[in-house]
């Protein structure tokens, strides 16, 4: 049962009791709740998009000093610390067999894509990673079609083609005379990993508390990457700005963001929460432009428009 279904099931008896005992109060309470939801959900979605968009800024700042593996280790470890109470509360459900399953999925869903995005952040503007990240929605549909027999439909197919054209345009671009195709391909590969990871979570980790699964994913990833991170740990002094970026990347963009994410799913459902996909590239580019002075090139704008149009087609098809 999903978090949203748990919330709905638990709330139904209480709502019925309130309605029978105090109809006037329950009606006014419902109206107040509806009024609050009208501004609260868009605000929280915008805040989540701003936080996740900021992750590409923080990777851009810290990646050169830390290197990909140490930076990702810090991100996973700090995020795990934030979510650890959720895992502790559900620890009885996590058998050794489940931990092994989670570890395998964590490699695909966290360790590898985080490392690819960090590697790309060393080599290209933050907006490149943020734009390619939007391909996750389309890759999720493609993996479900190719490996799990889900119907893809003509709208999703058009969306996928448009997204791939967008990536090709993005990879052809240059920033300050330097080609960005290695970072664009790394971001695309990371999004493909997310596409596999999301499908694996849907099929092999259902029935467990979402927050606890996310925490276990981060704990497993931290343990898995530790040897590589220790071996590649930088010997030079790390700048304060890089330390601050790594801290914010782990605590805010990974730990706190997951808490926001699961709260939104529980309150408004996964389809509406997934609209945050449109905001991440926007904020990723805006933060990089405002704080780092990175330009928005014509190829970035055109590629971003094509990829987001593909995402829109994919999502409109999935909601039919």
Tell me the per-residue pLDDT of 206-255, one tens digit each, with 9 for 90 and over. Answer: 889 989 999 999 999 999 999 999 999 999 999 999 999 999 999 999 99
- Count CB neighbours of 240 within 10 A: 8
Render the burial of 142-170: b for 16+ CB within 10 Å, e for the rest. bbbbeeeebebbebbbebbebbbebbebb
Give the residue from 290, 274, 273 showing the smallest Cα distance to 126: 290
Q: What is the pLDDT of residue 17?
A: 36
State residue 247's pLDDT score. 97
Phi, psi angles (nearest 5°) of residue 231: -65, -35
- The reported pLDDT for the residue numbered 318 is 54
pTM over the 0.85 mark: no
Identify the pLDDT of residue 133.
92
**pLDDT score for 177:** 59
Q: Residue 50's pLDDT is what?
A: 95
Other beta carbons within 10 angstroms of residue 206's beta carbon come to 11
Chunked into runs of 10 residues, the chain (320 residues) has average pLDDT values of 35 34 46 61 89 96 97 97 95 95 96 97 92 89 89 82 85 73 94 93 89 94 97 96 97 92 80 81 91 87 86 65
Asked if 307 contacts 162 with a C-beta cutoff of 8 angstroms, the reply is: yes
**Structural element, H or E, at residue 174:** strand 174-175
Structure tokens of 238? 């790390």
Nearest to 43 by CA among 188, 260, 270: 260
Q: Parse the chain into domains and list their residue ranges.
A: 61-318
Residue 195's closest CA among 274, 113, 258? 113
């Amino acid at each position: 049962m999903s978090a949203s279904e748990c919330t709905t099931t638990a709330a139904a008896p209480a709502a019925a009791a309130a309605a029978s005992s105090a109809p006037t109060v329950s009606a006014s309470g419902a109206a107040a709740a509806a009024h609050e939801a009208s501004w609260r959900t868009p605000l929280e979605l915008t805040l989540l998009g701003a936080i996740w968009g900021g992750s590409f800024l923080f990777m851009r700042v810290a990646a050169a000093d830390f290197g990909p593996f140490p930076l990702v280790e810090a991100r996973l470890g700090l995020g795990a610390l934030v979510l650890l109470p959720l895992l502790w509360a559900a620890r009885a459900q996590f058998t050794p067999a489940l931990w092994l399953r989670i570890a395998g999925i964590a490699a695909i869903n966290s360790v590898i894509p985080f490392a690819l995005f960090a590697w790309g952040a060393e080599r290209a503007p933050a907006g490149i990673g943020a734009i390619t990240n939007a391909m996750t929605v389309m890759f999720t549909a493609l993996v479900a079609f190719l490996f799990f027999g889900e119907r893809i439909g003509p709208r999703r197919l058009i969306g996928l083609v448009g997204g791939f054209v967008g990536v090709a345009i993005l990879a052809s671009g240059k920033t300050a005379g330097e080609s960005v195709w290695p970072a664009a391909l790394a971001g695309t590969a990371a999004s493909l990993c997310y596409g596999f990871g999301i499908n694996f979570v849907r099929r092999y980790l259902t029935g467990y508390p979402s927050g606890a699964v996310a925490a276990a994913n981060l704990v497993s990833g931290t343990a898995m990457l530790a040897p590589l991170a220790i071996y590649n740990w930088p010997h030079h002094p790390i700048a304060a700005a890089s330390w601050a970026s790594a801290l914010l990347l782990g605590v805010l963009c990974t730990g706190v963001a997951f808490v926001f994410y699961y709260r939104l799913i529980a309150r408004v459902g996964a389809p509406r929460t997934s609209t945050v996909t449109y905001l991440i590239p926007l904020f990723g580019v805006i933060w990089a432009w405002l704080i780092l002075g990175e330009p928005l090139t014509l190829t970035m704008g055109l590629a971003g428009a094509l990829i987001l149009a593909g995402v829109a087609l994919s999502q409109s098809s999935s909601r039919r």
